[in-house]
Structures are given as structure tokens and as C-alpha cells.
Amino acid sequence: MKKAVYVFLVFSINSCFTPDGYLPKIDSETINITLNSTEKPSTYIKLGFPTSTLTKEKINWQLRFENTADEWGIYTNPTEPIRIFNTEINRYDLINLNSIDGNTTWGYDDVKSNNIKSAVGRWGDFDFPNPESYKDVYILNWTQDSQDYYYKLQILDADINTYHFKYGPLDETSFQIETINKYEFQLYSYFSLVNNEQVKTIEPNINEWHIHSSYQVDSIIKHSKIPYSSTSIGSLGLFPSFELNHEHVEIFVDTVTNFEQINYVHSRNLKFEKSKNSIGLFYLKDTITSHVKSNSKQNLILRSDDEYYVIRAINIIGSSFNNHSITFEIKKL
């Protein structure tokens, strides 16, 4: 009798504990977003349960300025093939249409190792009198609505909180002088050279999004396995892009572990890194049909403060990369 009571007590106590190595199934959710390169090329995603999205229509702007306190990056609109030529001349009045010819070497913003190399140059340490490319005049060229634009741009000065620059059409003597103040509640400030104005309706506040799903112009040769759309510049394509809120998000791309097996225990010791942009994540090109399809082997794990999320693409609808919808599965770890 005593033995039976002992066995019963042991069984009762053990049944109160979860066996080692067992983790309950984590609930997930799905979201669907549609991207259209000519109308609605931009969707901001705020992770959480439920996850929320904000789709933006295409807006006319050419430059964006880094607002981070210790950075001075100046970038171009990633959905437009904007090419840039540094004249290495600091006399604004000497730069005109005669400054370019068939031998002109054009550059463009380039995504490298999860970061973006700005074709306008990095405006970093202003503790010394002559920063790299200081006051050089740049020529910018792009095509919009079948119209070819040529503008010139000269950075006059920058300090811890502002950018100060001169700009105008390349074939005109008139110019504008503008000051952009760093706005701490957004990652970037945006400016339209054509409309002569700062555009303030592009990006949500910095604490209102984690991921920006959009497009990015980049080299076709460099990304030969990723689907793209042709642009007005033959060597550049328009690629799917995941821009990260690098002020609040760190990432790890897991191509080995199955989505179902990824949990908090698996993720907490991974080597996360800050990233500004990732091209082609979740996308593959069908070698037979050339249609876009999802890459189910890529899992994006994000760490934001003390929260962990994992995302995968489970479906892409639409044979045209210019207009398609993609469904993501997301779980909070």
C-alpha cells in the first residue's frame, strides 16, 4: 500500500512540470502586401500581434538625408535610377551641360554588406576643415515621366544638426540654397529638387515601423539570381528590397533552420547585426518561366529591444515584378 501511495505521489509531482526540451507551439500570423513600382512602391511594417502595415503612394523626391546624430549620409531615391557624377570642381558657376560628355563616369548608390554606399559621398567628420569631397559640385541625372532631368548639387556646409546645400537645373544660372535640419523622430529627411521643397509625408515616425518593403536600384550583374525590372539605365535593375529601421532593429538571416523550429532559445544567442538594406531577400526567379517566386529557405530573425520575431515569405502572386503581392508569415518568439 505504501509503495502504491509513493508511486502516485511521484507521478503527481512530475506531471506538474513541463519536460526538458519541450517548447509550446508559437502562434503565427500572416500579412499580405502589394507592391507597384509606378504607383505604390512602398509599405512600412510595424511588428506586433497584430502586425500593422502602411502603404505609401509614389511621391516625387530625389534626395534623402541621414538624421542619425553621428552620420551624414546623403542618398538618392532608391526606386529611381538616379546617376551621379562628381565633377571634383567646387565652382558652382562653372558647371553646366558642357561638363559632361561621352567619357563621363557616372555612379549610383550601391548596397554593400547590408549598408548603402552613397554616390554623393559620406559627410562624416566635420572636426577637420576639409572633409572628403567638400564643396565638390555633383551632377544628378534621372528620367521621370519620359522627361530627362539634369541638376547640379553642391554641399556648402554641414554640422551636427543640419545640411546646407546649393542646387539648380544644370542648364540654368539660377540656383536655390536650402538647409535641412536633422529630425530625430525619423530616420531620413527627404527633398525634391524639382519641386524645391522638403517632403514630409514619406516615412512614419521612427518608433512606428520596423521594416520597409520596397524597391532598390542596383547592378544587374551583381544580383544575377534575383528578379528585377529593367530601368532606363541598362546596367541597373529595380530589385525587391527590405529596408530596416536600423535605429531599433538588428537582424540575422537563417537559411539552415526550418521556420517551425525557430524559437526564442534558438535565437537569443545568434550574432545579430544592424542593417540598413537587404536586396532580394525572400525572392527567387523561376529559371523556366522567369516568374517571381518566394524563397522559403530564408528566414529573417529580428531583434528589437527585448523582442524577437521571425519572418518568411510563403507566397508571391503576380508574374510581373512591377506589380505583385507577397504574403509573409510572422511569429513572435
More confident residue, 161 or 53: 53
pLDDT at 214 over 80: yes
Tell me how far apart the alpha carbons of residues 40 and 117 are, in angstroms, rounded to a whole number. 25
Inter-residue contact 194 to 59 (CB < 8 Å): no
Inter-residue contact 4 to 293 (CB < 8 Å): no
Count of C-beta atoms within a 10 Å radius of residue 140: 22
- Indicate the pTM of the whole model: 0.85
Kindly indicate the confidence band of residue 146, based on its pLDDT and cuts at 50, 70 and 90: confident
More confident residue, 70 or 94: 94
Inter-residue contact 316 to 330 (CB < 8 Å): no
Give whole-number Cα distances, 201 to 55, 60, 63, 189, 291, in Å: 12, 11, 14, 10, 33
Residue 129 pLDDT = 52
More confident residue, 190 or 222: 190
Give whole-number Cα distances, 222 to 228, 236, 279, 321, in Å: 12, 10, 11, 18
Strand pairing class (74-76; 292-294):
unpaired
More confident residue, 19 or 199: 199
Bridge partners of 53? 45
What is the rounded average pLDDT of the residues 201-230? Answer: 89
Residue 175 pLDDT = 93
pLDDT at 45 over 90: yes
Inter-residue contact 207 to 304 (CB < 8 Å): no
Q: Tell me: the pLDDT tens digits for 12-21?
A: 444 454 444 4
For 305, left (φ over 0), alpha (ψ -120 to 50), or beta? left
DSSP letter assigned to residue 95: -
Q: Which helix (H) or strand (E) holds 11?
A: helix 2-14
Q: Give me the percent of the chain exceeding a pLDDT of 70.
A: 87
Tell me how far apart the alpha carbons of residues 187 and 168 are, in angstroms, rounded to a whole number. 26
Kindly indicate the confidence band of residue 176, based on its pLDDT and cuts at 50, 70 and 90: very high
Q: Tell me: the pLDDT tens digits for 244-291?
A: 999 899 999 999 999 999 999 989 889 999 888 888 889 887 777 767
Tell me how far apart the alpha carbons of residues 16 and 43 are, in angstroms, rounded to a whole number. 46
Query: Chain centroid to CA 115: how far?
Result: 9
Task: Report H helices in 217-282.
Answer: 264-267
Residue 291 pLDDT = 74
More confident residue, 198 or 18: 198
Q: Tell me: the pLDDT tens digits for 232-247?
A: 888 888 988 889 999 8
Residue 186 pLDDT = 93
What is the rounded average pLDDT of the residues 159-171? Answer: 89
Angle CA(193)–CA(278)–CA(282) in degrees, nearest 5? 125
Residue 24 pLDDT = 55
Kindly indicate the confidence band of residue 208, based on its pLDDT and cuts at 50, 70 and 90: very high
For residue 202, what are the contacts with CB-CB under 8 A and spacing of at least 6?
Answer: 56, 59, 61, 64, 188, 190
What is the rounded average pLDDT of the residues 82-111? Answer: 89
- Average pLDDT of the residues of the chain: 84
Residue 130 pLDDT = 53
Kindly indicate the confidence band of residue 68, based on its pLDDT and cuts at 50, 70 and 90: confident
Q: What SS3 state is found at 117?
A: strand
